[in-house]
């Protein structure tokens, strides 16, 4: 059979976990330092300890990937990141994992030969976005966890990118990188590695005021952990190279136990192939014992969503399960945490009368030779080979064990024991340093750090078609009712000091009505923009591809893009028109905006998690700032209707109620089968519009509002007053850590 290359990638949330994963057979580990990683509360090493971690991994021929997969504010990126990465780069870190396109651009500038991996936080759902990153210098894509085996195979077929997917561990309910739940409720941003996991809490689901989730609240947003032991052949044959275990917040014994079992089955597949592949029930039970939430699922590889994927029961462990767990943890601790893996090496010692001792040590692509003292003439009986071998075999205290030790002796000689010990000790130490030094770099290989260049072109306001001397108003609608309200007020809104210039139509909910609705908008002297879906996967791509002629005839005045895949689709099919990135295509810093400007996109929605002061560093005339609307807290492949066996295949708005009786509207979008959970309170900055200097346009986003509510919002806007209903200021003042 043809050779299949696979990498087992294990989590290392601490030095202990790193050593345990290495001992259990991981090919690579991913680890965060003290900053910029998506698990800020793991026991991440810092400073010299992080450099020691790189050395330790390289000693065993294991790769270490550094997670820098959070969004960075402008000051952090330009002031701190270079100094943080430089020592790791020099030490030979094997790659950095990034979410922020500004970080990607900076790393490519500063360290051109340092491999960059696109984090699952980038929400990569198709070949277009992967090709785009490939062209930008990314070596590996960690795909969205929601993708099917078929979607992964298509990406593999249509790109040459190295692919990585998750095979075991916790599963987020929200598309990674698209969750604001923790951020908005408690200021702990998932995009900054500080998620408080509100998805694991109990909720009730309500349809038209009636509870449809049964008696008592349940963890309706809590997926089971995934276990894909049975799918390793299918995942490999779909084109995945790196198989990733989740768990940087878990204990070292977990990392070791899971890695050990997956190592065994990956090796079984690589040796015997798919037809002979077989999983023992005892190994499934051991993984369940290590950690599970109401059992396991196989994730999204074979199904789009469903009740079987959710951990709806919160059953406490039985006493016998607790005892078995403690026994297993004790055994794993003794085998993989207390002990370190021994590295087999080869040795050859030349002992010759009148010639300095010469010890050669080699293995795993490295070799060193060390000379010692000249052997002495024996005063009585000469030393024999076994006496010498006995001393050289004492490798305790080192990570090495002799695979083969050859001793050549010529003549009668005597060697002091301390000289043999010294030679052995120094030779193994030199060989250890040679292993650790693999991949180390000189800063001459990198670019010197200097101030970033953002080009010399002025801020581009043409994409937004805004007035030259003032801001404009944009309004996004999801329903015809909302559009009716906007157009009825259009004459007055167009005369406002901040005039209405454009209306955005939500394609996902308005669909085939777009041409007629766009014509209504244009007849009022306004621009009609198309807001593309929050999710753009294979099903969506096919739908758009089948209606290319409609899009070319529609010719909207611009497109609101929610992901990289939409940008790639429009470019691939030659669909022109200005493009405006929505707030969830993150541009927290000037480098990320320059990344998009270099690709022809020059209009941006300001991030929702930056405060007013932080926005000043990035926002400008090419920016749109949201002043009213419900934040999308989660975009989910999971569906409440499917979870509760109530799928009617029709869009509705349900309510999700938490333990504090806060109600979060949930809209299901059936054409592409996903949910959006919205905040319980709308953002309202309507009374602050005179203070919102900087952006070229301000946006009102309607989601769940009826016509009457929409009219109330528009009236508050024109009068510059705060709504009397319960509202939030979002992160306008507080921001996130």
H or E segment and range at residue 12:
none
Collapse the DSSP code of 367 into the 3-class scheme (helix H, G, I; strand E, B; otherwise coil) and give the result. Answer: strand
Q: Can you tell me which residue has the tokens 């604001």?
A: 180
Whether domain 7-174+217-337 has CATH 3.20.20.70: yes
How many helical (H) and strand (E) elements, i.e. helices and strands, does the chain have?
A: 24, 29
Weakest mean pLDDT among 203-207, 316-320, 484-488? 316-320
Strands (E), 136-281: 140-142, 162-169, 204-207, 210-211, 225-227, 242-245
The phi, psi pair for 389, rounded to 5°, reads -60, -40
Residue 152 structure tokens: 């992964």
pLDDT value at 57 more than 60 = yes
Query: Tens digits of per-residue pLDDT, 327-358?
Result: 999 999 999 999 989 999 999 999 998 999 99
Burial 408-429 (b: 16+ CB within 10 A, else e): ebeeebebeeebbeebbeebbe
What percent of the chain is predicted at pLDDT more than 90?
82
Beta bridge partners of 31: 66
Residue 469's pLDDT band (boundaries 50, 70, 90)?
confident
Same fold, 7-174+217-337 and 472-629+683-719: yes
Let me know how long the chain is.
737
Question: Rounded to the nearest 5 degrees, what angle is found at the Cα of 117, between the Cα atoms of 113 and 123?
Answer: 150
CA Rg value for the chain: 30
pLDDT value at 39 more than 60 = no
pLDDT value at 262 more than 70 = yes
Count of alpha carbons within 13 angstroms of residue 331, beta-carbon side: 10
Q: DSSP label at 310?
A: B
Asked whether the beta carbons of 30 and 264 are under 8 A apart, the reply is: no
Residues 238-252: what's their mean pLDDT?
A: 95
- Give 249-308 as a DSSP string: TS-HHHHHHHHHHHHHHHHHHHHH-STT----HHHHHHHHHH--SSSEE-TTSS-S--GG
**Residue 453, pLDDT score:** 61
Query: Tens digits of per-residue pLDDT, 424-466?
Result: 999 999 999 999 999 999 887 666 666 566 554 445 566 787 7
Residue 280 structure tokens: 């023992």
The phi, psi pair for 310, rounded to 5°, reads -105, 145
- Alpha helix positions (H), 24-114: 48-59, 74-79, 81-91, 101-110
- Alpha carbon distance 675, 656 (integer Å): 12
The count of other CB atoms within 10 Å of the CB of residue 253 is 24
Q: Which of 328, 309, 356 is nearest to 257 (CA)?
A: 328
Question: Rounded to the nearest 5 degrees, what angle is found at the Cα of 550, between the Cα atoms of 549 and 552?
Answer: 65
**Residue 216, pLDDT score:** 87
The count of other CB atoms within 10 Å of the CB of residue 730 is 23
**Residue 464, pLDDT score:** 82
Strands 500-506 and 472-477: parallel
Collapse the DSSP code of 65 into the 3-class scheme (helix H, G, I; strand E, B; otherwise coil) and give the result. Answer: strand
Domain-by-domain residue ranges, the chain?
7-174+217-337, 343-436, 472-629+683-719
- Alpha carbon distance 404, 400 (integer Å): 12
**Residue 41, pLDDT score:** 53
Weakest mean pLDDT among 114-118, 298-302, 517-521, 728-732? 728-732
Burial 259-287 (b: 16+ CB within 10 A, else e): bbbbbbbbebbbeeeeeeeebeeebeebb
- Alpha carbon distance 623, 587 (integer Å): 11
Q: 472-629+683-719 has which fold?
A: TIM Barrel (3.20.20)
Q: Which of 221, 71, 74 is nearest to 583 (CA)?
A: 71
pLDDT value at 655 more than 60 = yes
Provide the CA 88 distance to its chain's centre, in angstroms. 20
Q: DSSP label at 60?
A: T
- Alpha carbon distance 179, 182 (integer Å): 8
Residues 527-548: what's their mean pLDDT?
A: 96
Residue 325 structure tokens: 């767990």
Asked whether the beta carbons of 89 and 64 are under 8 A apart, the reply is: no
Residue 192 structure tokens: 């900054």
Residue 343 structure tokens: 């590295």
Asked whether the beta carbons of 47 and 13 are under 8 A apart, the reply is: no
Query: Tens digits of per-residue pLDDT, 656-691?
Result: 999 999 999 999 999 999 999 999 999 999 999 888
Burial category of 328 from C-beta neighbours within 10 Å (exposed 0-12, middle 13-18, buried 19 and up): middle
pLDDT value at 709 more than 70 = yes
Strands 366-371 and 355-363: antiparallel
- Alpha carbon distance 268, 564 (integer Å): 37
Asked whether the beta carbons of 531 and 556 are under 8 A apart, the reply is: no
Query: Tens digits of per-residue pLDDT, 59-97?
Result: 999 999 999 999 999 999 988 999 999 999 999 999 999
Residue 430 structure tokens: 């030199």
Burial 638-654 (b: 16+ CB within 10 A, else e): bbbbbbbeebeeeeeeb
Count of alpha carbons within 13 angstroms of residue 626, beta-carbon side: 27
pLDDT, averaged across the chain = 93
**Residue 467, pLDDT score:** 78
- Give 469-492 as a DSSP string: SS-EEEEEESSHHHHHHHHHHHHH
- Alpha carbon distance 565, 547 (integer Å): 17
Beta-carbon contacts of residue 736 (< 8 Å; ≥ 6 apart) = 183, 187, 188, 189, 191, 192, 194, 609, 610
Burial category of 458 from C-beta neighbours within 10 Å (exposed 0-12, middle 13-18, buried 19 and up): exposed
pLDDT value at 43 more than 80 = no
H or E segment and range at residue 587:
none
The phi, psi pair for 121, rounded to 5°, reads -65, -15
Collapse the DSSP code of 496 into the 3-class scheme (helix H, G, I; strand E, B; otherwise coil) and give the result. Answer: coil
């Amino acid at each position: 059979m043809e050779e299949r290359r696979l990498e087992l990638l294990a989590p290392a949330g601490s030095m202990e976990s790193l050593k345990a994963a290495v001992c259990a057979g991981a090919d690579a580990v991913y680890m965060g330092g003290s900053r910029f990683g998506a698990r800020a509360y793991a026991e991440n090493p810092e400073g010299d300890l992080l450099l020691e971690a790189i050395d330790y991994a390289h000693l065993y021929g294991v790769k270490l990937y550094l997670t820098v997969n959070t969004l960075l504010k402008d000051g952090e990126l330009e002031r701190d990141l270079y100094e943080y990465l430089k020592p790791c780069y020099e030490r030979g870190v094997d790659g950095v994992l990034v979410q922020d396109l500004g970080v990607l651009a900076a790393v490519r500038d500063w360290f051109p030969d340092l491999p960059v991996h696109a984090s699952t936080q980038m929400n990569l759902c198709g070949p277009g976005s992967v090709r785009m990153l490939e062209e930008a210098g990314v070596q590996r894509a960690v795909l969205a966890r929601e993708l099917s085996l078929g979607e992964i195979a298509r990406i593999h077929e249509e790109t040459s990118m190295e692919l990585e997917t998750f095979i075991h561990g916790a599963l987020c309910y929200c598309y990674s990188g698209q969750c604001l739940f923790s951020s908005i409720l408690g200021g702990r941003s998932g995009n900054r590695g500080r998620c408080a996991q509100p998805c694991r809490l109990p909720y009730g689901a309500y349809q038209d005021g009636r509870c449809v989730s049964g008696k008592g609240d349940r963890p309706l947003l809590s997926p089971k952990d995934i276990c894909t032991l049975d799918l390793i052949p299918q995942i490999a044959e779909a084109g995945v190279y790196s198989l990733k275990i989740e768990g940087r917040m878990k204990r070292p014994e977990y990392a070791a136990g899971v890695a050990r079992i997956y190592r065994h089955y990956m090796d079984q597949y690589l040796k015997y192939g798919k037809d002979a592949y077989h999983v023992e029930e005892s190994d499934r039970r051991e993984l369940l014992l290590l950690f599970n939430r109401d059992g396991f699922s196989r994730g999204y590889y074979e199904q789009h969503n469903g009740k079987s994927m959710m951990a709806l029961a919160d059953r406490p462990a039985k006493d016998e399960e607790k005892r078995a767990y403690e026994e297993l943890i004790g055994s794993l601790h003794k085998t993989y945490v207390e002990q370190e893996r021994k590295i087999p090496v080869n040795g050859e010692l030349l002992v010759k009368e009148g010639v300095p001792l010469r010890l050669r040590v080699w293995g795993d692509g490295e070799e060193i030779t060390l000379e010692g003292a000249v052997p002495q003439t024996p005063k009585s009986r000469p030393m024999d080979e076994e006496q010498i071998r006995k001393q050289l075999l004492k490798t305790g205290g080192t990570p090495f064990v002799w695979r083969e030790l050859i001793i050549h002796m010529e003549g009668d000689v005597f060697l002091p024991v301390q000289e043999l010990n010294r030679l052995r000790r120094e030779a193994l130490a030199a060989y250890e340093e040679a292993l650790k030094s693999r991949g180390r770099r000189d800063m001459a290989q990198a670019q010197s750090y200097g101030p970033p260049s953002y080009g010399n072109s002025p801020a581009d306001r043409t994409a937004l078609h805004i007035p030259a001397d003032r801001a404009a108003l944009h309004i996004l609608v999801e329903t015809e009712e909302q559009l009716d309200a906007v157009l009825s007020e259009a004459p007055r809104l167009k005369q406002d000091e901040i005039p209405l210039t454009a209306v955005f139509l939500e394609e996902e909910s308005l669909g085939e009505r777009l041409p007629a609705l766009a014509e209504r908008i244009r007849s009022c002297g306004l621009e009609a923009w198309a807001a593309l879906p929050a999710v753009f996967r294979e099903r969506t791509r096919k739908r758009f591809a089948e209606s290319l002629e409609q899009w070319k005839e529609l010719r909207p005045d611009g497109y609101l893009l929610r992901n990289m895949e939409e940008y790639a689709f429009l470019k691939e099919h030659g669909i022109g028109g200005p493009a405006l990135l929505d707030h969830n295509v993150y541009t927290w810093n000037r480098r990320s905006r320059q990344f998009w400007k270099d690709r022809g996109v020059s209009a941006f929605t300001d991030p929702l998690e930056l405060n007013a002061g932080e926005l000043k560093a990035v926002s400008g005339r090419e920016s749109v700032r949201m002043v009213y609307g419900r934040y999308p807290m989660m975009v989910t492949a999971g569906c409440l209707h499917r979870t509760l066996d109530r799928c009617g295949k029709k869009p509705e708005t349900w309510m999700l109620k938490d333990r504090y009786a806060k109600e979060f509207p949930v809209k299901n979008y059936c054409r592409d089968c996903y949910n959006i959970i919205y905040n319980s309170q709308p953002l309202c900055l309507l009374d602050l519009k005179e203070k919102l200097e900087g952006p070229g346009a301000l946006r009102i986003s309607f989601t769940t509002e009826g016509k009457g509510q929409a009219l109330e919002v528009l009236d508050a806007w024109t009068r510059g007053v705060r709504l009397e209903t319960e509202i939030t200021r979002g992160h306008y003042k507080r921001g996130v850590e």
